[in-house]
Structures are given as structure tokens and as C-alpha cells.
Amino acid sequence: MNKRKELYKILDTTGWLEQKQDNVLTPPLRALLQVPSTLAALELRPDTSIPLMFLNETAFGKSSFQTKLGANFVIFGPMFSGKSTELIRRMRRYQIAKHDCLLIKYANDDRYDKTDVVTHDRQSLPAVMAMELTKLKEKALQVEVIGIDEGQFFPDVSDFCEDMANEGKVVIVAALDGTFQRVGFGRILELVPLAESVVKLQAVCVICYSNASYTKRIGNEKEVRGLPLAQIS
């Protein structure tokens, strides 16, 4: 069972989660998991319900309770909506702040470059190629921030991201949320309930020039894993 789910179960059976607020509980839960003696240090009372962020500060103190908060951030959108541009912007910001970063690209995506993540307007950032994210787990554990481009193509994306977040890593994923058939793309939607933040960008429709929320396949190809070329509202 997932460690975070175990902690949820323990707290729930003791009455701590009578008032569940996921946006308050999720990050502190990850923080609590970084402290091995957390459960032993808690005085669980079935008649008490307080936000875990408050619990962190009162039970351990701000000075003694120091840990890295892991988190999943997801950037959705159709083709040409600026997902990779936003991913690169965030990664560069972390690099400027002197964080150790790892950017991962899907190995079969060589439209603009075989190694770098490249946007449609040719912004680029060096990346490591992979077909499966778990094969980069050892390398990922050595950094603080992990960026993943074209996340929809990785079959292990949800498991990998959750594992890394629980290890205290900041994970940023740029991905198509749906196929050109407007159904979930691979396992990417499994990240939604696991993420601290999910945003969906919009492109510009090449026909009517209004906001575009979906991707349209140009050509007669029916293979979903092929890289789509245009979008339409």
C-alpha cells in the first residue's frame, strides 16, 4: 500500500480527517512521511480534527521540523498551447535558484531535436531521453526538480511521479490530457488526483482563431501514439 494512503488510513480511523480538505492535507502528508518517527510523535485523539499544516508546526516546531516538500505539478493543454514553453520556463527558474534539475523527454519525440526539449518557436533545454521513466529513477533521486515533457507517452508516468513526490522531489509534467478523439491519453489522467496543481492551457484555433481546447489530427493516421500536428477548438 502507498505510504501516504497508510497515513490517511491511520489518521482517518482516529478521527483526524473528519474534515477532509485535500488542498490542505496533501503537502503536509508528504512532509510527515519524511520524518520516520512522525507517527510515534503524534498524540492521536479521536475527538480532535485540525489541519495537518497546523499539526506540523505545533507538533514539531518550525525550527526542528525541516523537510523537503515533494509535489506534482501538471501542465495540460492541446498541441501548440505552450505546454513545453511553460515547462522550460519553470525549469529555468529552478535552475536560476540553484536547484539540481533533471529534464526528461520521450525518446521517440525527435521532431526538432534528438536530445533537447524544443518548443515550436525553438526554445530549448537539454534533456535526458527515455521510453520509461522508472529506468531513470536512480538519476532522478539525485536531483531536486524533475521536468517531464510529453508525459502522456510514458506508461509509468503516474507511478513514477507519485514516487518521486513522496521522495521530496518537485515534479513538473507537461502533457496532452486527451487524444484527438477527446478521450484520456494513456495513463496521464491518473495524475490529476495526485497533483498539487493542475492547469490547462489553451491554444489558438487555426480555423476560427478563437481559443482552442482540443487537438485535431491532420491526415489519415489512426494511431493514437503518433504525434498530433494541429489543434482545433
Among the listed residues 139, 147, 126, 131, the one whose alpha carbon sits nearest the alpha carbon of residue 74: 147
Instruction: Please tell me which residue in 86, 150, 162, 196 is annotated as part of the active site.
Output: 150
Spatial contact of 216 and 176, defined as CB atoms under 8 Å apart: no
How many other C-beta atoms lie within 10 A of the C-beta of residue 213? 20
What sign does the dihedral 150-156-158-160 (CA atoms) show? negative
Is 138 a residue of the active site? no
β-strand 124-126 against 116-118: which pairing, if any?
antiparallel
Catalytic residues: 150
